[in-house]
Chains A and B, each alone.
Chain A
Amino acid sequence: MRGGVRVLAVGAVLLALATLSFGLSRLPLGAWAVPAALGIALCKAVLIAFFFMHLAERPGGPRLVIGTAGVFVGILVGLVLAEAAARAWPTLPPGPFPVSRLPGTERSGPPRAAPPWLPLP
């Protein structure tokens, strides 16, 4: 039954962290809101991986596999954001052309329909 008690303890921490995440979202954290929310989510993910997904019992291969996946995610998100942050503003979507066809801004009438699908020549 010791395992069951541990599951319940980890579960209580998970529910507390979710409540904390919701509570923090009601506070004016400004630029820290996203890092704080993602940090709490990461804590929850590590707890679930180690105690619910049995990583605590399985050193070696499984930890290497999921750790490598985590590093790859970091490389993907990090390099994409680094490149996008270094772009000049006019090259970012929607680009140098004026924003057009947004609902409620320059037209009235029924909601805009999707453009007809055309097969490629």
Chain B
Amino acid sequence: MRHEASPRPVEPRALHFGDEASRQDAAHLGMWIFLATEVLLFSVLFTAYALYRLTYPGVFQQAPAHMDVFLGTLNTFVLVVSSILVALAVDAIRNGRDFAAAALLALSVLLGIAFLFIKAAEYTKHVHDGALPGAWYAYEAFALPGANLYFTLYWVMTGVHAVHVLVGVGVLVTLALRTLAGEFGARFHTPVELGGMYWHLVDVVWLFLWPLLYLT
């Protein structure tokens, strides 16, 4: 589905960027290339997880018993619902309902902040237990060879992900404010689509972290 050419204030500098559809194609391709680098960043962390899970299968299987599975699962639903809201916001802006789009983006911002607060509550509990990364690991209730590796991976993987959530919240706030300012509408809304894609990627990464760290 291509969108109609728009008279937004862009001077075509070259023939291949002559219409809005070509500009959207280029913007989306660029965003996908950026998202591919993000995928490769997280895949290195998942590879480390896979290697150490292969080395200590029993310990990694026991580890979810020391996690707050309720809070982890709650966070999954929080992120999935926020993703749905962002997708609805893109649909709203495409149909010219810019106030609805801004409201939906603001709601997803609230859910993103809720995710970070829930994560902080979990981190507080781990710090209290002494389940810290690396050489700081001092969790007496789970003192097996490999347990510290599980928690090191947990802190690094969820920490890098939480930084992405924080950045994503900033992106969504910016998009909501710019939408309210009337910068986006049915004819031009590429930044909303691209920012939304970043938020969905953050959601997808969590959908892989959650079963590996909390469920299996």
- A residues apposed to B, CB below 8 Å: 1, 3-4, 7-8, 10-11, 14-15, 18, 21-22, 24-25, 33-34, 37-38, 40-41, 44-45, 48-49, 51-54, 57-58, 61-62, 65-66, 68-70, 72-73, 76-77, 80-81, 84-85, 92-94, 99, 102-105, 111-112, 114-115
Contacts and interface: CB of A to CB of B under 8 A. Distances in A.
B111 to A, nearest CB: 13
Contact of B47 (A24, A34, A80, A94): A80
B138 A112 contact: yes
Given A25-B216, A49-B204, A72 B40 contact: yes
A114 B135 CA distance: 6
A37 B40 contact: no
A84 B54 contact: yes
B160 interface: no
A73 B40 contact: yes
A85 B81 CA distance: 38
B36 A66 contact: yes
Contact of B54 (A37, A70, A85): A85
Interface residues of B, number: 62
Contacts of A34: 211-212, 216
B193 interface: yes
B95 A61 contact: no
A15 B82 CA distance: 12
The 3 A-B residue pairs with the shortest CB-CB distance in the complex, in nearest-first order: A37-B211, A111-B138, A11-B84
Given A3-B94, A48-B203, A54-B197, A76 B28 contact: no
B87 A7 contact: yes
B137 A21 contact: no
B113 interface: no
B91 interface: yes
Given A7-B88, A11-B80, A44-B207, 7 more contacts: A25-B211, A49-B200, A69-B39, A77-B43, A77-B47, A84-B54, A93-B52
A81 B54 contact: yes
Contacts of B32: 61-62, 65-66
Contacts of A68: 36
7 contacts: A8-B84, A14-B80, A25-B211, A53-B196, A68-B36, A103-B138, A111-B130
Contact of A102 (B145, B204, B215): B145
Contacts of A69: 35-36, 39-40
B120 interface: no
Nearest to B49: A77
Contacts of B4: none
A57 B197 CA distance: 14
Contact of A37 (B1, B28, B148, B212): B212
B199 to A, nearest CB: 9
